[in-house]
Amino acid sequence: MPLHPLYGHDALKERLIGAMAAGRLPPALLLVGAPGVGKQRLGLWLAQGLVCEQGPGAPCGACHGCRLAGQITHPDVHWFFPIPRPKGDESKQVEDAEDQLGAAIAARREQPLYSPPDGMAGLFLPLVRALHRRVQLRPAMARRKVFVIGEAERLVPQASSPEAANAMLKVLEEPPPDTYFVLTTSEPSALLPTIRSRLVQLRVKRLRASEVARFLTAVPHPPLTAAEARRRADAAGGSIGAALALSAEAEQARAAARRLLETAAKEPASRYKYALGVRPFGGRGDFTDTLDAAAELLRDELAERLRGDGTHAEGDAPTASLLASLREIEQARKLAQGNVNPQLIVAELLRRLAECRA
């Protein structure tokens, strides 16, 4: 599966395209920005532009080099990011690091919307030594090779010593003339000052909410509805990564909300069974999330009816039923903030929702 398109960052992309086309792109860059704004994706886009057969410059997307880079299979585009600490005999740790990285990249090919690495993962010394090996090789297909190194701040914190960072410093001090480095970080102060001094730093800004929403309606499978995408984008602070995390949590709540609303249409025995399955007090947070999600579903349905083709009056029966159901859920939400048993709230809510539908 190819990488998803790069969203936003148009001004920065134009600067980079101009630098590539004019042969003025610095050989070592540091992309700095908030988590989840697309720094590594931007780095891979830049690598694609450098190996493009029509470039260097804006990736054409059609040449053999661009297609391979877009599928993370180009032999001259090397993507490094934190992995678990390599195990076993020291003489075999570089091979283990290579194997782990290869497996992780294969997983990202299958699922380009990858999760953040584990907190114990890092850019450990064996992985940097593996990078050393690749740096010494001549480009296999393009005129130049590119190394994208994600979350570069993990060169130090997870290694208990500066060995990995010092090894990286040696690579940056004496790079071959056909080699480019693109490091990314959300914590530039965690990098060794000697490393930062050898990098040209570029700020990767947060995305506009409209760009995050556009991503959410196009890329995830299944994509979000426009209304849900707008809500997640507004809450994500310009970060696609944050929006995806919110969406995963929200989808769990929405699935529970759908079950709640579907149960309201069933016979009383099913409604009582559902109510008894609700945790009495320990799951109050999940319960209120479900109620909030149910209210969102009803509001979306209501907005769709009123926006539709103009034939749905605010006073028609289905619209009145939706409004009444919303009021019942809002009342249940208020009760849930108090000391009322959630099972009792749900049993009464399902009865009232059934009446709204009648």
For residues 243 and 95, what is the distance between their CA atoms, to the nearest angstrom?
36
**Overall domain count for the chain:** 2
For residue 157, name the pLDDT band (cuts at 50, 70, 90). Answer: very low
pLDDT value for 95:
92
Same domain, 243 and 350: yes
Mean per-residue pLDDT, 149-171: 72
For residue 159, name the pLDDT band (cuts at 50, 70, 90). Answer: very low
For residues 311 and 313, what is the distance between their CA atoms, to the nearest angstrom?
6
Phi and psi at residue 179, to the nearest 5°: -125, 135
Same domain, 122 and 245: no
Same domain, 178 and 224: no
Burial environment of residue 175 by CB neighbours within 10 A (0 to 12, 13 to 18, 19 or more): middle
pLDDT at 161 over 90: no
For residue 158, name the pLDDT band (cuts at 50, 70, 90). Answer: very low
- 154, 175, 205 — which closes off a domain? 205
For residues 346 and 329, what is the distance between their CA atoms, to the nearest angstrom?
10
Residue 140 lies in a domain: yes
Q: Where are the alpha helices (DSSP H) in 29-145?
A: 39-51, 64-70, 93-110, 125-135
Same domain, 240 and 112: no
pLDDT value for 283:
53
Q: Give the domain range for residue 235.
A: 212-357
Which CATH number does the domain housing residue 107 bear? 3.40.50.300
Same domain, 232 and 142: no
For residue 111, name the pLDDT band (cuts at 50, 70, 90). Answer: confident
C-alpha torsion sign, points 222, 226, 228, 234: positive
* Contact call for residues 303 and 227 (beta carbons, < 8 A): yes
Same domain, 122 and 184: yes
Phi and psi at residue 201, to the nearest 5°: -90, 135
Phi and psi at residue 40, to the nearest 5°: -70, -35
Residue 2 lies in a domain: no
The pTM assigned to this predicted structure is 0.72
For residues 131 and 149, what is the distance between their CA atoms, to the nearest angstrom?
10
Burial environment of residue 193 by CB neighbours within 10 A (0 to 12, 13 to 18, 19 or more): exposed
Same domain, 245 and 145: no
Phi and psi at residue 129, to the nearest 5°: -65, -35
Q: What residue type is assigned to position 72 of the chain?
A: I
Same domain, 66 and 153: yes
pLDDT in tens, 259-316: 999 999 899 999 989 988 887 755 556 778 888 888 888 887 887 777 655 555 555 7
